[in-house]
Amino acid sequence: MGVFDSGHGGLTVLRALVDAQPRRPFVFLGDHAHAPYGRRSNEDIHGLTRAGVEALFAQGCRLVVVACNTAAAVALRRLQQEWLPHAYPGRNVLGVLVPMVEAITRVPWMVQEPPVDRMHEPRTVGVFATVPTVSSGSFPREIGKRAPHVRVVQQACPELVPLIEEGAPDAVLGPVVRGYVAEMLERADGVPDAFVLGCTHYPLVAHLFAEALPAGAEIFDQPALTARSLEHYLERHPDYAPELHTHPAPLRFLTTGDAERVGALAGRFFGGTTPFQRITHG
């Protein structure tokens, strides 16, 4: 099973997937040579995501999780509707956006109209994300289809991913996070009921968001939600499930960048040894 990301952030999702299903083999591909995606055009993001998914298909993966909110928000729907049915029938691509939307709305993804019995009092959800994810409008659009009573306030955080990937300390990251939180709260006209860390890098600074946000704020855990969603998907579609190993399954770590440099930093995201191998992307 493949897991694709533009850089290191998807390793937080991979960690949750491995913890939930330790006997399934996973192949991770980070497109570090072209990261960060947050500074690229939508067409670039779509092309790079397709090439990354195709590279994982070439590794024998029949199912790929796009563990990058930017790539999922910009490219996933187009890949699923326009590319996969013709180029790779019998294979599929999932994304990290779906489990988050389902958790926020409490409505299954396949439901395109809000169920009458799920209408509640209006509430507000704050979304912290990259510039392309915010610009795509994916969170408010998909949440609005299923739960129009939920108001979505988005906050782009352009500095966070580069700083996290550089290994910046909390002393540097803390003021940046507090600045983004202050901007959101100023525009939200009241404190949101819950918050979404809409980038897979952000779990590494979740403690800084928790400190900056109002006490007791609900923060959705994207890696855990993705792991739970994948388990349910494989129960419904067992043909996509890789064969279980009798012991913890081997993991493979691939990158389009400098394998030694990537591996040195990636362990902080994954929480374990990450011996990367370089491959050519696209």
Co-location of 34 and 134 in the same domain? no
- Residue 245 assigned ligand-binding role: no
* Strand, helix or coil for residue 239: helix
Provide the domain count of the chain: 2
Co-location of 90 and 13 in the same domain? yes
- Residue 138 assigned ligand-binding role: no
Quote the pLDDT of residue 117.
56
- What whole-number distance in Å separates Cα of residue 108 and Cα of residue 137? 19
- Residue 130 assigned ligand-binding role: no
Question: Which helix (H) or strand (E) covers residue 278, if one does?
Answer: strand 276-278
- Residue 69 assigned ligand-binding role: yes
- Residue 200 assigned ligand-binding role: yes
Contact by Cβ (8 Å): 100, 133: no
Out of 179, 200, 221, a domain closes at: 221
- Does the model's pTM come out above 0.85? yes
Contact by Cβ (8 Å): 26, 249: yes
Co-location of 245 and 197 in the same domain? no
Out of 174, 206, 221, a domain closes at: 221
Contact by Cβ (8 Å): 101, 108: no
- Residue 92 assigned ligand-binding role: no
What torsion, rounded to 10 degrees, do the Cα atoms 252, 165, 19, 198 define?
-120
Co-location of 117 and 29 in the same domain? no
Co-location of 32 and 64 in the same domain? yes
**Sequential pLDDT tens for the chain (282 residues):** 999 999 899 999 999 999 999 999 999 999 999 988 888 999 999 999 999 999 999 999 999 999 999 999 999 999 999 999 999 999 999 999 989 998 888 887 666 566 655 555 678 999 999 999 999 999 999 898 888 889 999 999 999 988 988 889 999 999 999 999 999 999 998 899 999 999 999 999 999 999 999 998 999 989 999 999 999 999 999 999 888 888 888 899 999 999 999 998 898 899 988 999 999 865
Co-location of 116 and 134 in the same domain? yes
- Residue 246 assigned ligand-binding role: no
Co-location of 89 and 174 in the same domain? no
- Residue 42 assigned ligand-binding role: no
Co-location of 106 and 167 in the same domain? yes
Quote the pLDDT of residue 277.
96
Q: Where are the alpha helices (DSSP H) in 206-258?
A: 206-212, 222-236
- Domain assignment of residue 157, given as a range: 99-221
Structure tokens at 116: 């009458």
Co-location of 113 and 202 in the same domain? yes
Co-location of 142 and 172 in the same domain? yes
- What whole-number distance in Å separates Cα of residue 43 and Cα of residue 173? 30
Catalytic residue IDs: 68, 199
DSSP state, residue 83: I
Out of 196, 221, 246, a domain closes at: 221
- What whole-number distance in Å separates Cα of residue 85 and Cα of residue 104? 29
CATH number at residue 103: 3.40.50.1860
Quote the pLDDT of residue 119.
54
